[in-house]
Structure 1
Amino acid sequence: MTPTTNAPYVIGIAGSSGSGKTFFLNCFLNHFAPHEIALISQDDYYIPAHTKTQEENKLYNFDLPTAIDRPAFSKNIAALFSGQTIYREEYTFNNQALKPKLLETKPAPVLIIEGLFIFYYEEVNALLNHRIFLHAEEDIALQRRLRRDLIERGYNEEDVRYKWVNHVMPAYRQYLLPFRDQCDRIIINNTDDPAPIVAITDEISAELRTKAL
């Protein structure tokens, strides 16, 4: 995958679990019309759990680069670069109560690529024009993760805490943290007050309009 003369301006956004990526992305996307910006998320490329090997405690490890269908992720990014619309079934984190949606992503002048491993995947990292790293202190991030997984995904607290210690934080330290100092902007998000994030997205989107739109 190599950029073309008509390639979009690409922003890579990554952060630890519980760093506030979803809120940041929603704020950021609100600054643009649908035809101006596209989003592709690594989370929609998880390999189905039933194809993975379970640990002794019957928990799957989703926090590994091999948990993602990397060829499909890269192929769809390349398709957006070439001006094609891509379709992908939403990943529902094995929640059988949720019916997956068919996601449609159209090419746009600005492309956001989001996910834990986007800097680690060399072929993806090479395409990024601007890298954003979101960070939250570990205890704050864990509390956010607990709220999300217990309520939205139906996990029990013991499983969430086990995954945090044995899967989430080791993956963060190995596959994301080493790239932090290479990023163009590091955003510390230790508060649930939305105002600072809104202000930052205001600033970044204004800068982006002068570069890409």
Structure 2
Amino acid sequence: MSNKPIVIGVAGGTGSGKTTVAKEIFYQFNEQSIVLIEQDAYYKDQSHLSFEERLKTNYDHPLAFDNDLLLEHLQKLTDGKAISKPVYDYAAHTRSEKVIDIQPKDVIILEGILILEDKRLRDMMDIKLFVDADADIRIIRRLVRDIQDRGRSIESVIDQYTSVVRPMHLQFIEPTKRYADVIIPEGGQNRVAIDLMVTKIRTIIEEKAIL
């Protein structure tokens, strides 16, 4: 890989459709040339804390993330070096002992709720996207996901949303919208926006190949 890879940031609140957008873009390219890095993989290691203390973790706060490690890994990938991406164990509320080996690629998609909050991460991105959706749509999607996929009760999801997720969204996530180059409403349903992004990325890749 001769040229520096393109780094695309895909941010947005919980249930906004950012993961769908990131995956839709990912699937449009050959896997040999693109890699998807989730900020969720970089939650801080909490193995030094008791399980009771880990349960108090606010996963929607910027301090929950190990951005130093994420930056180090992004820098390595842009320098053409492989990384060992961490795996987070949500049941144990700490980092797993497993890692996933990731090879450098032409396009790096970085996806997560707070990737635009850290200036150091923003400065590494060539394109910054913010996936937007109305709050009522986001809470409904989160309800469905947490009940079906994570075995949660309606009461616990609503309580967490109103006490933690919503205030953190308003305080930390929503304000990062101003850093985005492109705001995509309606998330994964927005085929036009996704197709435009794919076309733009293809153009950049072709230009780099010519240079």
- The bucket for the TM-score relative to the shorter chain is 0.7 to 0.9
Partner Cα separation in structure 1 for residue 51 and residue 86 of structure 2: 24
AA partner of residue 194 (structure 2)? T
What is the match of residue 150 of structure 1? Answer: 147
Partner Cα distance (1:119, 1:44) in 2: 16
- Residue 193 of structure 2 corresponds to residue 200 of structure 1: yes
SS of structure 2 residue aligned to 1:90? strand
Distance 2:204 2:181 in 1: 15
Aligned twin of 1:211: 204
CA distances 1:40-97 after superposition (whole Å, capped 9, x unpaired): 11100112456568999x643111111112221111111111111112242242279x
Seen in structure 2, the aligned counterparts of structure 1 residues 59 and 110 have a Cα distance that, compared at 3 Å, is same
- Inter-CA distance 60–46: structure 2 relative to 1 (3 Å threshold): same
User: Does the residue aligned with 2:129 lie in a helix, a strand or coil?
Assistant: strand
Output the CA distance in 2 between the equivalents of 1:208 and 1:140. Answer: 29
Amino acid at match of 1:163: Q
1:210 Cα shift? 0.9
Aligned CA distance change for structure 1 residues 54 and 138 (closer, same or farther; 3 Å): farther
Higher helix share: 2
Aligned position for 1:84: 81
**2:34 aligned to which of 33, 37, 40:** 37
The answer to whether the 8 Å contact 1:40/1:77 transfers is no
Moved more, 170-179 or 142-151: 170-179
Contact 2:10 2:112 in 1 (8 A): yes
In structure 1, how many angstroms separate the alpha carbons of the residues matched to 2:123 and 2:52? 34
| Partner Cα separation in structure 1 for residue 146 and residue 47 of structure 2 | 20
The equivalent of 1:23 in structure 2 is 20
**4+ runs of 1 displaced by more than 4 Å?**
48-56
Alignment of 1:1-213 (within 5 A): 6-48=3-45, 51=48, 59-94=56-91, 102-189=99-186, 196-213=189-206
**1:152 partner SS:** helix
Q: TM-score, normalised by structure 1?
A: 0.83
For these two proteins, the number of residue pairs brought into alignment is: 202
Give the direction of change, closer, same or farther, for the CA distance of 1:148–1:113 in structure 2 (3 Å limit): same
Assess, with a 3 A threshold, how the Cα gap between structure 1 residues 28 and 100 changes in structure 2: closer, same or farther.
farther
Indicate the percent of aligned positions where both proteins have the same amino acid. 30
- One-letter amino acid matched to 2:197: I
Distance 1:87 1:126, change over 3 A: same
Q: Which residue identity does 1:202 align to in structure 2? A: D
TM-superposed CA distance for 1:168, in Å, is 1.3
Report the Cα offset of residue 198 of structure 1: 3.2
Determine if contact 1:46/1:69 at 8 Å carries over to the other structure.
Answer: yes
TM (normalized to structure 2)?
0.84
Distance in 2 (CA, whole Å) between partners of 1:209 and 1:17 is 28
Give, in angstroms, the shift of residue 13 of structure 1: 0.5
Q: What secondary structure is seen at the aligned counterpart in 1 of 2:88?
A: coil
Q: Secondary structure at the match of 1:40?
A: strand
